[in-house]
């Protein structure tokens, strides 16, 4: 039996993922009956002109997923009982309240099958896999204990010293004892919420903003007040009006290459935000997770404030590796001391191995060289994606100068849920703007990852969406 699937060596998706995706789609289409025998590994390799290694890995994965049965000495067969689960196209209303977690799930489901245009992940082909592998081998050889031991509560001292140097280049003055390593920026935010908030507190967030932040805050039982994000930062007029009605404990803000709009807070807005924090007695959590995408350094809130009213959050996971979960918090000695206690109670410690791998990449200069390449690629991708969108008639919230994201809309489409439906038959998964709003309010905007903007499927989607009919009457 020959499988009816297509493999493309030029689209950046690993062959293993394409095989898994193609076979699962073929099985779900009912093209093969349960119990049908699949081509042998040797036959598959010959039919599609690929080596055996991705076929072996793909078949193993298909068995693990439950789509295929392996019969010793006989071969591989379509499983009699298929796994039950949701597909990207099988999900229903994109505006449902649990959108925060649904967006995350969409980025993991069906690897390689659809173009995830709203994803937050850097394409695998853009990563520095060779340097990562070398660093892993180096740490395994020189520090084998790191593979089984916890990291120290604060985190690897050498890593903290490297991070101290990096934030020093931003003008943030802190010693290594003021830096706490976390399991990605998400744990950093969670630790700060546990430390600073209690159920019923009011906090200010950006609208639109980071979907996972909203979900975490709701888990802690706090009240979210959305402050509209403008081209230069939070809308100060709205914020000052809300301060007359509420006493927020915190403001959460993404200052540079904001997710999802791609904008950066302007200096006058930054100064005014700090003035308001002092006048009204609230702290600011500055999420600077996209700092390493920026070539020309600009002042952060933490630079201007020097950690008096600002707590700074950063990380390496958005650039280095999503699997190497490295985040960090920079704050006063007193705050860091309390956060260490919470970290030990909730997770005991971080990964000594992951932290050591990050140190190896930083010390050997591999990360610096990789960032130079990544920034160039992202700038080129942003430029071409922006041009394609404008040529197709889309409206841009802003033309980003860096980072990953473009926030865009079709002018006559008021609900981005229509764009979600438009993408499905084209093999494109997009995320409606409602997912990026504090209470999943309807939005016409979608987030576009520029790295995928040149894919033919994306370009077909841009033109098809722009051709959608407008409102009647």
| Same-domain check for residues 357 and 374 | no
pTM: 0.77
| Same-domain check for residues 133 and 122 | no
Say which DSSP state 207 is in.
Answer: E
pLDDT computed for residue 25 by the predictor: 78
Query: What average pLDDT does the structure give for the chain?
Result: 88
Q: Is the dihedral of CA 441, 442, 445, 446 positive or negative?
A: positive
* Whether the Cβ atoms of residue 257 and residue 290 lie closer than 8 Å to each other: yes
| Same-domain check for residues 50 and 189 | no
* Whether the Cβ atoms of residue 220 and residue 345 lie closer than 8 Å to each other: no
- Give pLDDT tens digits for 283-327: 999 999 999 999 888 889 999 999 999 999 999 988 888 888 999
| Same-domain check for residues 210 and 277 | yes
> Which residue has 């989607």 as its token pair?
461
Say which DSSP state 441 is in.
Answer: -
Give SS3 for 431.
coil
Mean pLDDT of all residues in 426-433: 91
Listed residue (177, 127, 181) closest to 153, CA to CA: 181
| Same-domain check for residues 355 and 238 | yes
Checking if the pLDDT of 473 tops 80, the result is: no
Q: Which of 9-18, 68-77, 281-290 has the lowest mean pLDDT?
A: 9-18
CATH code assigned at 407: 3.90.1150.10
> Which residue has 């796994």 as its token pair?
83
Q: In terms of C-beta density within 10 A (0-12 exposed, 13-18 middle, 19 or more buried), how is residue 341 classed? A: exposed
Token pair, residue 310, equals 């600002």
On whether residue 471 sits in a domain, the answer given is: no
334 vs 52, which has greater pLDDT?
334
Listed residue (166, 151, 161, 147) closest to 343, CA to CA: 151
Q: What percentage of the chain exceeds 90 in pLDDT?
A: 62
Model confidence band, residue 89 (pLDDT cutoffs 50, 70, 90):
very low
Maximum Cα–Cα distance across the chain: 75
| Same-domain check for residues 159 and 248 | yes
pLDDT computed for residue 125 by the predictor: 86
283 vs 29, which has greater pLDDT?
283
Residue ending a domain, among 340, 364, 388, is: 364
CATH code assigned at 28: 1.10.10.10
Checking if the pLDDT of 368 tops 50, the result is: yes
395 vs 47, which has greater pLDDT?
395
| Same-domain check for residues 279 and 178 | yes
On whether residue 73 sits in a domain, the answer given is: yes
151 vs 65, which has greater pLDDT?
151
pLDDT computed for residue 386 by the predictor: 97
| Same-domain check for residues 235 and 300 | yes
* Whether the Cβ atoms of residue 304 and residue 270 lie closer than 8 Å to each other: yes
pLDDT computed for residue 92 by the predictor: 35
- Give pLDDT tens digits for 195-244: 999 999 999 999 999 988 998 998 889 999 999 999 999 999 999 999 99
Q: What percentage of the chain exceeds 70 in pLDDT?
A: 91
* Whether the Cβ atoms of residue 195 and residue 342 lie closer than 8 Å to each other: yes
């Amino acid at each position: 039996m020959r499988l009816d699937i297509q493999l493309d060596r030029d689209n950046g998706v690993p062959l293993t993922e394409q095989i898994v995706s193609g076979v699962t789609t073929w099985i779900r289409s009912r093209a093969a009956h349960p119990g049908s025998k699949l081509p042998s590994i040797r036959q598959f390799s010959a039919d599609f002109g690929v080596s055996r290694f991705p076929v072996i890995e793909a078949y193993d994965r298909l068995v693990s997923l439950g789509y295929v049965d392996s019969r010793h000495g006989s071969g591989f067969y379509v499983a009699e009982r298929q796994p039950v689960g949701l597909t990207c196209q099988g999900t229903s209303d994109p505006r449902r309240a649990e959108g925060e977690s649904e967006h995350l799930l969409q980025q993991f489901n069906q690897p390689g099958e659809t173009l995830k245009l709203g994803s937050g992940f850097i394409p695998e082909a853009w990563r520095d896999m060779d340097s990562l592998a070398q660093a892993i081998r180096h740490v395994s050889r020189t520090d084998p204990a790191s593979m089984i031991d916890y990291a120290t509560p604060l985190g690897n001292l050498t890593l903290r010293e490297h991070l101290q140097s990096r934030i020093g280049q931003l003008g943030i003055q802190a010693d290594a004892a003021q830096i706490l390593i976390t399991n990605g920026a998400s744990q950093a935010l969670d630790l700060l919420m546990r430390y600073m908030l209690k159920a019923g507190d009011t906090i200010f967030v950006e609208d639109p903003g980071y979907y996972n932040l909203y979900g975490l805050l709701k888990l802690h039982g706090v009240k979210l007040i959305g402050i509209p994000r403008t081209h230069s930062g939070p809308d100060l007029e709205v914020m000052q009006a809300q301060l007359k009605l509420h006493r927020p404990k915190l403001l959460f803000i993404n200052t540079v290459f904001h997710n999802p709009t791609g904008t950066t807070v302007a200096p006058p807005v930054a100064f005014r935000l700090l003035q308001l924090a002092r006048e009204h007695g609230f702290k600011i959590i500055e999420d600077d997770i996209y700092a390493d995408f920026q070539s020309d350094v600009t002042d952060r809130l933490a630079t201007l404030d020097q950690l008096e009213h600002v707590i700074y959050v950063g990380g390496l996971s958005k650039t280095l590796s999503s699997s190497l979960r490295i985040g960090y918090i920079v704050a006063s000695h007193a705050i860091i001391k309390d956060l260490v206690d919470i970290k030990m109670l909730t997770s005991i410690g971080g990964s000594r191995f992951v932290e050591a791998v990050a140190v190896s990449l930083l010390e050997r200069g591999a990360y610096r060289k990789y960032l130079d390449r990544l920034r160039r690629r992202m700038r080129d991708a942003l430029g071409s994606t922006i041009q394609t969108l404008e040529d197709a008639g889309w409206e841009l919230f802003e033309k980003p100068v860096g980072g990953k994201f473009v926030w865009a809309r079709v002018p006559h489409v008021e609900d981005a849920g229509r764009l979600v439906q438009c993408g499905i038959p084209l093999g494109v998964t997009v995320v409606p703007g409602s997912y990026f709003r504090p209470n999943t309010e309807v939005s016409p905007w979608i987030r576009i990852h520029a790295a995928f903007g040149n894919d033919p499927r994306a370009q077909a989607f841009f033109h098809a969406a722009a051709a959608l009919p407008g409102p009647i009457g």
